[in-house]
Structure 1
Amino acid sequence: MTAQLRTAPDQDRFTAETERFRRELLAHCYRMVGSAHDAEDLVQETYLRAWRSYSRFQGRASIRSWLYRIATNVCLTALKPRPIRMLPSGLAGPYDGPDRPPNPVAPGEVSWLEPLPDAWIAPSAGDPAAMVIERESLRLALIASLQHLPARQRAVLILREVLAFSAAETAEILDTTTAAVKSGLQRARARLNELEPEPEGLLEPTDERARALLDGYIAAFERSDARLLEQVLRTDATLEATPFRDWQAGRAMCLHILDAYVLGAPGDWRMIATTANGQPAAVVYHRNDDGVLRADGVVALAATATGVSRVVKFHDPALVATFGFPHVLTR
């Protein structure tokens, strides 16, 4: 009976065995490529390839590791012709030149990192501790750093450190040796430590302190009140926004740029709280000249016990729909 099913698998059995891994595979592909939309496409390709080869799956490995082998190789193939996705802070140091509005990068010059809606990967129920680990492995700072690793080193690090596959299992997934896995992991760890030597202790987005910081940030924009922002940001806060090359370091510089070029008048901005990459976030609307509040993008905050240490704004109206919100606010 089993052999017959292996020879001619039906859709119901395939779905029952594989569908429960879809969300974690989406998170895996996102860590690899830094784009929510690309990750979604790569998961679709993973399931298409898995279905096509399901009749040849003999169960020597678990169905989970088999799917991860397919997904990882799909990602590695997709990454070969693509530039890495970055944040402005990955291009150069903070801007310290003459006062000017933020300087946008020419379209197509840089591939920008994208935020990941928590709702895309959050399980309906699960171990709270495991959910915390999952969120920590998707923080924006970590995802941005991962993109600077060579693709196979990135895969080794994610499979070993995030997903807890053994060296032997990782070697099987990547069709290499355990010695190569151990060497790749050592190099990846060293490079990651250079990029992010002291990862911050961020508050969980459900923490009351994190929500208070997000509420304060939203209120500051909606009221056009720089003094409220001063209360929210740490003295060493950084501010960056895609698709702009310039980014600011230090609360004074952040406040100057926002007050001089961004905040506008009370009512120009509307924000709705959400979560992205395991961090407090908001979808952003801006009131245009016609008086209509239209989608503007998504902002994510790095919330700590002493205030917001990092603000990353993704200026892309299409992201608002990705997070499940309308393009235009009618009230």
Structure 2
Amino acid sequence: MTDKPTNEDFLRLADPMRRELLAHCYRMMGSVHDAEDQVQETYLRAWRAYDGFEGRSSLRTWLYRIATTTCLTALDNRSRRPLPTGLGAPSTEASAPLAQDGEVPWLEPAPDAMTGVGADDPAAVVTSRESVRLALIAALQHLPPRQRAVLVLRDVLRWKAAEVAEAVGISTAAVNSILQRARAQLSEVSPHLDDPVEPLTTEQQAHLERYVAAFENYDVDGLVHLFTEDAIWEMPPFVGWYQGPEAIAELTRIHCPAQGPGDLKLVPIAANGQPAFAVYHRADGVYGQFAIMVVTFSGDRVGHVGMFFEESLFETFGMPAKWEGSETK
């Protein structure tokens, strides 16, 4: 007869899974802040119920079930978290005035350090680059919460249909039907999600360095050659989005507060398994926080840029409000 599990056992065994559970909740919620809240709730519920855990499934599976239920409950009365491209409006003229909407709960990027991307993790499949890339998180927001949960559990975590049915509280047949609809919807809103996500090639890395140099040197003409022909630029909470190198360059000339070389500083960070930067803008000789930039490559050029102007994200990424690094000009 085995000893009854204790709360101390739970804390010791469950704590190493915190990052992967955060990644799971982030896929569901579209916000690292909301994901942290749901992970906390998951651990609280699990801790309270651990005396009754009978070990019929692994502790990991049990925690994922609780986390999924917790997220679904939280999503009952919440709007989805879109990017501007997800609002259904056509691309915006670069010369148009900027319009922002602070009422929309916008999608947020997530630091790799929080979701475990690139970590030496035995459950690396659940924290791979593909599983948290920005395009996938944005596409998942187009699905109703239950569809989102079924697709994540089946296609990301590779659970069996019967396991998903138990976690979500539906039949196996319903799981298969929901999964089919979710895959079709995802393919419609983001047809290139099956493309592999790999670390940058040598050529892409060199291209990224040219991209950074163009921004820091205020080389707007040079930017045109760094984007794909159908590249997209979007920057919540501003509702507009812009397509094509010329439109992105014009947007930069008209609306970017930088006036010349050295006005912007791009400090490398890591978000969603992709290249990313904490962008600082110089005013009165001081580099203050400006935006978190996440860059997506399409081939050897930049195909998408998300500029996130939520100030709290700098703290999320462990970046200071003012940049005083030795590389500032």
TM-score scaled by structure 2? 0.92
- Aligned equivalents of 1:125, 1:303: Cα separation in 2: 25
Residue aligning to 1:144 = 138
1:297 to 291, 300, 303: 291
- Aligned equivalents of 2:132, 2:105: Cα separation in 1: 19
Residue aligning to 2:177 = 183
Residue aligning to 1:165 = 159
1:266 to 252, 255, 261: 261
- Aligned equivalents of 1:269, 1:165: Cα separation in 2: 45
Q: Aligned ranges for residues 16-35 of structure 1 at < 5 Å?
A: 16-35=12-31
1:10 to 7, 13, 16: 7
1:261 Cα deviation from its structure 2 partner: 1.8
- Aligned equivalents of 1:320, 1:213: Cα separation in 2: 25
RMSD, aligned CA:
2.1
Give the number of aligned pairs.
323
Deviations 1:69-97 (A, max 9, x none): 10000000111111110100011344345
**Structure 1: which 5+ residue stretches go unaligned?**
none
The question of whether the paired residues in 1 share the 8 Å contact of 2:231 and 2:244 is answered with: yes
1:80 to 76, 80, 84: 76
- Aligned equivalents of 2:295, 2:188: Cα separation in 1: 23
Point out 4+ residue stretches in structure 1 off by more than 4 angstroms: 130-133
**Structure 2: which 5+ residue stretches go unaligned?**
none
Compared CA separation, residues 60 and 301, structure 1 to 2 (3 A):
same
- Aligned equivalents of 1:61, 1:52: Cα separation in 2: 18
The question of whether the paired residues in 1 share the 8 Å contact of 2:92 and 2:240 is answered with: no
Deviations 1:272-312 (A, max 9, x none): 11221111110111123x33211122101111323001111
Q: Aligned ranges for residues 1-331 of structure 1 at < 5 Å?
A: 2=2, 4-6=3-5, 9-11=6-8, 13-97=9-93, 99-105=95-101, 107-108=102-103, 110-122=104-116, 124-126=119-121, 130=124, 134-199=128-193, 201=195, 204-262=198-256, 263-288=258-283, 290-331=284-325
Q: Secondary structure at the match of 2:128?
A: helix
- Aligned equivalents of 2:16, 2:52: Cα separation in 1: 20
The question of whether the paired residues in 1 share the 8 Å contact of 2:23 and 2:126 is answered with: no
AA partner of residue 299 (structure 1): M
The question of whether the paired residues in 2 share the 8 Å contact of 1:88 and 1:241 is answered with: yes
Compared CA separation, residues 101 and 268, structure 1 to 2 (3 A):
farther
TM-score scaled by structure 1? 0.91
Compared CA separation, residues 174 and 46, structure 1 to 2 (3 A):
same
Compared CA separation, residues 264 and 276, structure 1 to 2 (3 A):
same
1:140 Cα deviation from its structure 2 partner: 1.0
Q: Percent identity?
A: 47
1:327 Cα deviation from its structure 2 partner: 1.1
Compared CA separation, residues 161 and 200, structure 1 to 2 (3 A):
closer
Q: Secondary structure at the match of 2:235?
A: strand
- Aligned equivalents of 2:217, 2:57: Cα separation in 1: 57
Compared CA separation, residues 132 and 282, structure 1 to 2 (3 A):
farther
The question of whether the paired residues in 1 share the 8 Å contact of 2:233 and 2:241 is answered with: yes
1:15 Cα deviation from its structure 2 partner: 2.1
1:202 Cα deviation from its structure 2 partner: 6.2
